[in-house]
Structure 1
């Protein structure tokens, strides 16, 4: 189960997934264009950096020579400019897409796991009780809204109904938890 049953939540999930795909594709295109621009640029001679002084200038050239040695270790046919272009394009793609994956993917996968577990729990008697308990453990304002949705019900009566195993209360609480996840109550 990858998407919610509720249309509003499903729409938000589809838009989020589409935005993630567009973000990834956009950075892939940007990296490819940057790679072509880097490889098309002619190599420039190492200029002298007058504002930094001779000591810093020498240090920067040492770093550049170390980079040249790394480039020389590259496969034949790949010059230093091509290697640098490849590394720069790879970083240009990996950093923003990696950030997206770190922020978006765990949250999305957590919802998928929770929805699948809730769907499986809703199919069993014991699972229905667990869903009902989870609904009772929500913040008090959410429990209050659940109680308001049921006739002649208060948060305290919901807890009492859960303790006594009242089927109507258990069904109502389990349904509230499924709805919170964006699923249809069975």
Structure 2
């Protein structure tokens, strides 16, 4: 059982799950964008194409040779930019941190609560199917604050405790229903 039966609680659970998925998606998008931006900044700058400048005092032959060497250097830089390795590593590190930190914090808070509710709801449904289980649910309802019990039942707390001790089926069912409603599984 992933969601409560009560419409209000179910809506809050669905909205919470959707918000968690949206949070994860937004941070994934942010991490990918940051990685791309940092990776682009590691690319070498390209000089604007145009006429080759003349180098004074060297002559046209030496100028052409120096330009050929410069073009060969550009081809080597294009083949494997060794200077960009630290920037690439930084880009990966930043992207991972941008994703892991906020998503990890969300999962550390949201996921245990969600799993705990799911396990409690499954156990409560299983207990509600048996007579002894309903008695245990009734006992669990009795340990709730008195104002919670008063909201869900017409009988006073003394009558509820007495009915539980005497194993009154009506009182046991009422108390078990209080516990199920508390988990969002009973009738509102």
| CA deviation after TM superposition for structure 1 residue 162, in Å | 0.3
Aligned to 1:100: 106
Contact 1:147 1:155 in 2 (8 A): no
**TM alignment of 1:82-93, pairs within 5 A:** 82-93=88-99
Aligned to 1:63: none
Contact 1:121 1:128 in 2 (8 A): yes
**TM alignment of 1:105-116, pairs within 5 A:** 105-116=111-122
Aligned residue for 1:141, secondary structure, equals helix
| CA deviation after TM superposition for structure 1 residue 146, in Å | 2.9
| CA deviation after TM superposition for structure 1 residue 140, in Å | 1.6
Aligned to 1:36: 36
Contact 2:42 2:88 in 1 (8 A): no
**TM alignment of 1:1-186, pairs within 5 A:** 1-42=1-42, 79-148=85-154, 153-184=155-186
1: CA distance, partners of 2:114 / 2:26: 21
Aligned to 1:68: none
1: CA distance, partners of 2:30 / 2:170: 57
| CA deviation after TM superposition for structure 1 residue 79, in Å | 1.4
Rg larger in structure: 2
Distance 1:78 1:114, change over 3 A: farther
Aligned CA-pair RMSD: 1.9
Unaligned runs of 5+ in 1: 45-75
TM-score w.r.t. the length of structure 1 is 0.77
1: CA distance, partners of 2:161 / 2:145: 14
Aligned residue for 1:111, secondary structure, equals helix
Aligned residue for 1:79, secondary structure, equals helix
2: CA distance, partners of 1:17 / 1:168: 37
Contact 2:149 2:178 in 1 (8 A): no
Question: Larger relative CO (CA 8 A, sep 6+): 1 or 2?
Answer: 2
